[in-house]
């Protein structure tokens, strides 16, 4: 029990020291996706009963193909079976829960706009669309063009 408590405390401290704000509820993520928090959001929607290899593969691809080059992006994972995320899953993003039983869905969003992709190739699809939906990348491209 002490080891679990220590591990949780270390994760919290590292998150705070790493400059990432802790996500406390589905309501917080909903506000962030609507534009209350500046930046680009990458969200992995998964079903905890789905094949774990596919979920883990999507996580690894997000880390290596997106977050490695864009460490300032905000990354969250949402288990679609958690009731506190129902409004985001069903009403806001309209994730197909049946599809998530087979493989995860990935979302890129900023400033209240977003794009999601599902299944094999989802992370590559998101990577391809980052320039259109990432406010951080849009700002970067403007800075390079401005004289």
Using one digit for the tens of pLDDT, what is the confidence trace for 95-114?
Answer: 999 999 999 999 999 988 89
Inter-axis angle of helices 52-62 and 122-133, nearest 10: 40
Residues 6+ away with beta carbon under 8 Å from 114: 33, 41, 93, 107, 108, 133
**Cα(124)–Cα(117) distance, rounded to whole angstroms?**
9
Helices and strands (DSSP H and E) totals, the chain: 7, 4
Q: How confident is the model at residue 146 (pLDDT cuts 50, 70, 90)?
A: low
How many CB atoms lie under 10 A from the CB of residue 54? 15
pLDDT at 7: 44
Sheet holding 41-46, edge to edge: 74-79, 41-46, 105-110, 113-118
pTM of the prediction?
Answer: 0.79
Q: Does position 126 have pLDDT exceeding 90, yes or no? A: yes
Which residue in 43, 13, 40 sits closest to 26, CA to CA?
Answer: 43
Average pLDDT of span 126-142: 88
Helix (H) or strand (E) holding 117: strand 113-118
What does the pLDDT read at residue 147?
54
Quote the CA–CA distance of 53 and 72 in Å, as a whole number: 26
DSSP state of 50: S
Q: How is residue 27 written in tokens?
A: 């309501």
Q: Could you give the percent of the chain with pLDDT greater than 70?
A: 81
Most confident of 1-10, 72-81, 127-136: 72-81
- Residues 8-65 pLDDT 10s: 444 444 444 444 445 567 889 999 888 888 899 999 999 999 999 999 999 999 999 9
pLDDT at 11: 46
């Amino acid at each position: 029990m002490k080891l679990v408590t220590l591990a949780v405390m270390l994760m919290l401290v590292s998150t705070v020291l790493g400059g990432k704000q802790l996500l406390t509820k589905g309501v917080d993520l909903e506000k962030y996706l609507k534009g209350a928090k500046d930046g680009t959001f990458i969200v992995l929607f998964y079903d905890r009963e789905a094949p774990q290899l596919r979920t883990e593969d999507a996580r690894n691809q997000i880390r290596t193909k997106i977050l490695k080059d864009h460490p300032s992006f905000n990354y969250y994972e949402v288990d679609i079976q958690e009731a506190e995320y129902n409004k985001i899953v069903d009403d806001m993003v309209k994730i197909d829960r049946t599809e998530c039983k087979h493989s995860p869905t990935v979302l890129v969003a900023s400033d209240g706009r977003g794009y999601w992709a599902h299944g094999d190739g989802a992370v590559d699809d998101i990577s391809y669309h980052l320039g259109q939906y990432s406010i951080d990348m849009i700002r970067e491209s403007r800075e390079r063009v401005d004289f």
